[in-house]
Structure 1
Amino acid sequence: MASFNITPIDPSTFILMGIPGLEAAHFLISIPFSMFYIIGLLGNFTLLFVVREEQTLHKPMYLLLCMLVLTDINMPTSVVLKALCIFCFNFKGITVSGCLIQMFFLHAASMMHSAVLITMAFDIYIAICNPLRYSTILTNARIAKLGFVGLIRALLFILPTPLLLSRQPFCANCIIPHTYCDHMAVVKMSCGNITVNRTYWLIIAFVVNGLDMMLIAMSYSLTIRTVLRMSSKKAHQKALNTCTAHISVILVSYTPSLFSSLTHRFGQGIAPHVHIILANLYFLLAATLNPIIYGVKMKELLDKVGKYTCRM
């Protein structure tokens, strides 16, 4: 029996357990999940519609906002639909290929999201530190190119992860105690040598994500230094207002992810369902709150949204 348990097999499906320990409350949990997801979709699609329809909003900052919106639609959609099938209908099975595809789109969108946040930080830096050259440095065409580079980076860095996993043998009882196919959760299902998989993922975590956060921090350190040197109180206030929305989005995007990572590494006594809820909040909170943050903080955008809302 012991030898059978470690024998590699080729299962056709994995089993996603949802939130272990809270199975009895799965249906109740699906209600806030659905609400967050629907509110996020409505907010994000509204921003896309308004920016597309209004010629006055065809500017670099709003083009970047549209890129952020697209990632905020993709990330939760990759997770929530399957999670709701688990919570509401107990459909826990997912094919190996389906699991790898979900993992690819989820992590690629997450990396693209990070790339957009970097570009937004650069946009704010130029707007505050070099406003006279803003229109020549950051054109719509250049922003589109930067977005394309971010997309290619995400695809090239994430594509090897499902390809490497597709070559792995998987063991019996491929039960994933999660609501979605997270990379490390799937890696643990393998009976083969996963050294390459773990090493590659660590490289992505420390090199790519670490570099992204470092660039954002560097951009803001230069921006804040310029803001503090401003003599005009009005200019000082205007610069801070420009930064507020982006900083809020960064906090919403990275805080749940940071807490999730810390609890995984140092919170051995924390219940597993807490880890999973934090991991899901990373996708749901950003998608729900980001359009609200930008809608409130950007007066020009808020006015246009109000204009189209009154027409309905």
Structure 2
Amino acid sequence: MSGRIVTLTPNPVMDLRTSVDQVRSDRKLRCTDPVRQPGGGGLNVARTIRWLGGNACALFPAGGGTGEDLKHCLEGEALDYEAIPVAGESRENLIVLEEESGHEYRFAMPGPVLAQGEWEALLERLERTEPAPEYLVASGSLPPGVPEDFFARVAGVASRRGARVIVDTHGRPLERVMVPDSGVFLLKPNHNELEMLTGRKLAGEEDEEAAARELTADQQARAVVLSRGARGAMLVTRERTVRYRNPPVGVITRVGAGDSLIAGLVYRLGEGASLEEAVRFGVAVGAAAVASAGTGIGEWVDLEELLEQTEVA
């Protein structure tokens, strides 16, 4: 039986995807009919786990008509969730594909301002979730009004309850959560975020490995999975380093690829897989997301074939 997985998304979003022949200024652009899908780090993770055949409970704030749309979409996907009501309107993002060039333009909104009582309600709900989660995925951006140490507070609450905490965020919230004995089980930065955390330029793979190992040395995180884009991924713990090469796929979109990697990883961990095996599966799921239109994964994807093509060094 899979372990209980909870995802926490402090700034969920309704993604509107559309396309246009060419993006040009000062003229009306005739777009295709938009596709609306729930998004935001933890929601992407939970939806992908559901696609994989697992279960995850998504915890997030929701407000206004967009918040109702988010809940309605998740209900249509039979996804377990708990929405904390907030006064502000949940955000929408716009993703536009320029057909002529193949370039993708992403317009990300900041989200509603959360009052102290609203973001504290998320922590309180996590504190009394029963049964206590085995894995807690805290990911995405913070909306206005939420303190920069929010993810650090989340890690403290979840780790005290025995959960393995996986964090994927950026900027100051990432810096604030990365402290000695943080309670974080796994961190998933990219190259730029790893440079920010270590305060220095990282010239190549050896520098990246050394920097990631620094984060594990004083238990800022027990493991680091460095997302390296087209170069694949790298798992670093205090004991070992494992490198993964992406399977060959055509890139349609990179939206949600990192979230899909985490989803595959935590799904396999919940089934009892080793960390090395779980990361390999996550890399294959991330590749499936890259090769699929939208923020979901297409039914046509042969995940077993992608897994076989995911090289490990």
TM-score by length of 2: 0.28
Could you say which structure has the greater relative contact order, defined with CA pairs below 8 angstroms and 6 or more residues apart? 1
Higher strand share: 2
Q: Which has the larger radius of gyration?
A: 1
Higher helix share: 1
TM-score by length of 1: 0.28
